[in-house]
């Protein structure tokens, strides 16, 4: 009887596994910890650590949707966390060429006039990726991250290296529609205000990562990021070195 029971359990388990394998749907979750949250070359936590987590759904057709959350810190009276909602569709043209279309909403529920939304497209050929994101909505009227902003990016990723290492390079350029940032007053020799000095907020950024898959222990990475933003416009363009761990379930 015991042998029959074990056999029945194994049979049921095999049927369940087969059913899941045949399902066009898949759901996964992820958690992560990083010594710094860097987004497009700029820290989102004033160089402090970040804890994040997300939930993703994928369909065999190429459709996907998900959500992701992390703590943030932009200074005084800033929001404390970011909540992203996203969806997309992607697929392969052949073994070497693939594409992806996406839409994402960046929400800061405990902050004011900070939410914005983007649509984007990217193509990947072997190890190289090129993409574009366009801001279609922004609460910061006539400021940064308002509708009309453009972000161009490129990436290179080489996996299956010795010791299960992956090497990646990344770079991008942010072209803000309203890119002038006030940096200070302009005075005449008598000390009278005659204007406001401005600087462009547009910037380049670049970075690299080495990551290692560690099986059930997740993925560990060592990262470098830097941007070309103007100090007077509020950017910290010093190199940022940070480490991260993430795991998918």
Domains of the chain by start residue, with CATH: 25-248 (2.40.160.40)
Position 163 pLDDT exceeds 90: no
Per-residue pLDDT, 15 = 42
Greatest Cα-to-Cα distance within the chain, rounded to the nearest angstrom = 101
Q: How far is CA 154 from each of CA 38, 102, 137, 170, rounded to the nearest angstrom?
A: 16, 16, 23, 6
Average the pLDDT over 86-98 and give the result: 96
Higher pLDDT, 173 or 199: 173
Position 119 pLDDT exceeds 50: yes
Residue 129, SS3? Answer: strand
Do residues 211 and 200 make contact, with C-beta atoms less than 8 angstroms apart?
no
* Residue closest to 107 by CA, chosen among 76, 66, 139: 139
Per-residue pLDDT, 38 = 98
Do residues 235 and 42 make contact, with C-beta atoms less than 8 angstroms apart?
yes
In this structure, what DSSP letter does residue 95 have?
S
Unique residue bearing structure tokens 């979750």: 29
Residue 4, SS3? Answer: helix
CA dist., res. 113 & res. 193, Å (int)? 29
Higher pLDDT, 130 or 184: 130
């Amino acid at each position: 009887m015991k042998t029959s029971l074990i056999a029945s359990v194994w049979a049921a388990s095999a049927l369940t596994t087969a059913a899941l394998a045949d399902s066009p749907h898949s759901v996964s979750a992820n958690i992560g910890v990083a010594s710094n949250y860097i987004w497009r070359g700029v820290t989102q936590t004033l160089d402090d650590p970040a804890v994040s987590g997300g939930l993703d759904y994928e369909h065999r057709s190429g459709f996907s949707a998900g959500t992701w959350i992390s703590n943030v810190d932009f200074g005084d009276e800033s929001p404390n966390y970011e909540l992203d909602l996203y969806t997309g569709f992607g697929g392969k043209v052949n073994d070497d060429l693939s594409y992806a279309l996406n839409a994402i909403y960046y929400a800061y529920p405990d902050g004011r006039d900070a939410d914005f939304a983007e649509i984007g497209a990217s193509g990947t050929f072997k190890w190289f990726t090129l993409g574009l994101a366009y801001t279609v909505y922004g609460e910061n009227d006539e400021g940064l991250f308002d509708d009309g902003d453009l972000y161009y990016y490129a990436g290179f990723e080489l996996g299956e290296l010795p010791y299960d290492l992956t090497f990646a390079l990344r770079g991008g350029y942010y072209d803000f529609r309203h890119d002038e940032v006030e940096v200070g007053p302009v005075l005449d020799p008598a000390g009278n205000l005659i204007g406001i000095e401005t600087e462009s907020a547009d910037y380049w950024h670049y970075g690299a990562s080495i990551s290692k898959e560690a099986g059930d222990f997740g993925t560990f990475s060592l990262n470098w990021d830097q941007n070309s933003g103007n100090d007077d416009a509020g950017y910290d363009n010093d190199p940022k070195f940070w480490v991260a761990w993430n795991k998918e379930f």
